[in-house]
Structure 1
Amino acid sequence: MATDGNNGAARFLPDRLDLRSLREAAAGCQGCGLYRDATQTVFGDGPPEARFMLVGEQPGDQEDRRGRPFVGPAGRVLDQALEEAGIDRGGVYVTNAVKHFSFTLRGRRRIHQTPTAAEIDACQPWLNAELALVEPEVVVVLGATAARALLGPSFRVTRQRGEPVPLDTLDSPSAGVALAVATIHPSAVLRAPDRDAAYAGFLADMRVAAALPDGSRREPPG
């Protein structure tokens, strides 16, 4: 997991760390330039005691307008997979590695742009704080951007998807080590030439995460 630097969102973190205060503070974040064009910050959503945390890339067009993560077409793919994998959507905390929509205008359309490494790193303090507060047992890593934020730049979703790997939350060392399962972002299912095959692989990875036993968080070393 990338560490916080002197720049980016770190200076916007509130003194009191709980999800409500984080969400309120993130609304004014100017840790990178994405805030200038985005409608609003889209913070994480879900119960603070969630066993599962799902981390995507960034808000899309509908998420940016509505202020909630995974409420667009990719969110519907995700909801279907969660239901079929046996994971209660209402008990899941969902968030993104980057909290502002990165896009370029094409006429009147806002076309998604992949966040840069600098933008991912700038937003890292929010994600670290969410992990420390929720303390999930299982983190589902949705796509390459989330994988870079959580598992480092050398991790490759295409090679290591569906394989549980340890995820040290760093900011809460006493809480132990969560397990991460990486898979493609649900938007990749929508873009795939063969959607049925892409969805089947996505669902298989979600079922791996769902099958991890309760209490799968490991004690920290030392």
Structure 2
Amino acid sequence: MTALAAAGASKAPGAAEFVPDTGDLSALRTASGDCRGCDLYRHATQTVFGEGPADAAVVLVGEQPGDQEDQQGHPFVGPAGQLLDRALADAGLDRDTLYLTNAVKHFKFVERGKRRIHKTPGRTEIVACSAWMSAELALIKPKLVVCLGAIAAQAVIDRSFKVSEQRGQVVSLPDYRAIATVHPSAVLRAPDRAEAYAAFVEDLKQVRAEMRKRTAR
């Protein structure tokens, strides 16, 4: 169970009533399309569920889908996803071996003219959606979860987790280990993008080193 799933267990069911009791990732993905666990589905184009191998050793968790993800129905396909692809390659990680998902499965935004601008999901929405990620992780059983950004880290590790202070620290949780870095969109917004990108790649290299260490045991 993720940190926020545990925190919200005694509150409104949110997405939990839409999550099937049994099945595989394909069944979860299909069921998620009908989720009404919070109000974000009302304006989003579609649910954007996680993608990747069902037995992935590493799961990457972001915040929520962006505009391009919402339109295409796949995680990390917009500008931040393209930067992530490049950083993974530079760090020696193969995206095809990883499972990529988000803490929140619907795009939250505000409209400005013809543009849809990302809006950070609130705690209620994050807790409501946590049942999906908990179900994903329970089926995949990863060895390492990589949190991309504060929302993901607080959802997976602990509500008080601060990426600015604890970035790159490996945390042992009951079912897997976790590590947090920035979200690739933060690299795109950084004043010195080259420096931010290099630091991001170093974090991903640490992920690779952690996995090699665990494989060698």
TM-score normalised by the shorter chain: which range applies? Answer: over 0.9
RMSD across aligned C-alpha pairs, in angstroms?
Answer: 1.3
> Can you give the 5+ residue segments of structure 2 that lack an aligned partner in the other structure?
none
Pair 1:131 & 2:137 matched: yes
Partner of 2:65: 59
Partner of 1:156: 162
Aligned counterpart for 1:44 among listed residues 13, 30, 50: 50
CA contact (8 A) 1:54 1:139 kept: yes
Once superposed, which parts of structure 1, at least 4 consecutive aligned residues long, lie more than 2 Å away?
213-217
Partner of 1:211: 209
SS in 2 for 1:212: helix
Q: How many Å separate the matches in 2 of 1:215 and 1:42?
A: 32
**Percent of aligned positions that are identical:** 56
Aligned counterpart for 1:13 among listed residues 6, 16, 19: 19
Pair 1:198 & 2:196 matched: yes
Shift of 1:81: 1.1
Aligned counterpart for 1:68 among listed residues 67, 74, 83: 74
CA contact (8 A) 1:42 1:69 kept: yes
CA contact (8 A) 1:181 1:205 kept: no
Q: Which amino acid in structure 1 is aligned with residue 192 of structure 2?
A: D
Q: Which amino acid in structure 1 is aligned with residue 128 of structure 2?
A: A
Shift of 1:106: 0.5
Q: How many Å separate the matches in 2 of 1:120 and 1:89?
A: 25
Shift of 1:166: 1.1
Q: How many Å separate the matches in 2 of 1:94 and 1:21?
A: 17
Q: How many Å separate the matches in 1 of 2:31 and 2:207?
A: 31
Partner of 2:180: 182
Q: How many Å separate the matches in 1 of 2:126 and 2:159?
A: 11
Q: How many Å separate the matches in 1 of 2:123 and 2:23?
A: 26
Q: How many Å separate the matches in 1 of 2:146 and 2:203?
A: 9
SS in 2 for 1:216: helix
> Can you give the 5+ residue segments of structure 1 that lack an aligned partner in the other structure?
169-176, 218-222
Shift of 1:29: 0.2
Q: Which has the higher helix share?
A: 2
Shift of 1:216: 3.2
Cα distance per residue 1:39-79 (max 9 Å; x no partner):
00000000101111000000000000000000000001111
Shift of 1:192: 0.6
Q: Which amino acid in structure 2 is aligned with residue 25 of structure 1?
A: A
Q: How many Å separate the matches in 2 of 1:10 and 1:49?
A: 23
Partner of 2:83: 77
Pair 1:94 & 2:100 matched: yes
SS in 1 for 2:133: helix
Residue correspondences, number: 209
SS in 2 for 1:198: helix
- How do 1:114-129 and structure 2 match up within 5 A? 114-129=120-135
Aligned counterpart for 2:171 among listed residues 145, 165, 176: 165
Classify 1:147/1:213 alpha carbon distance in 2 versus 1 (closer, same or farther; 3 Å): closer
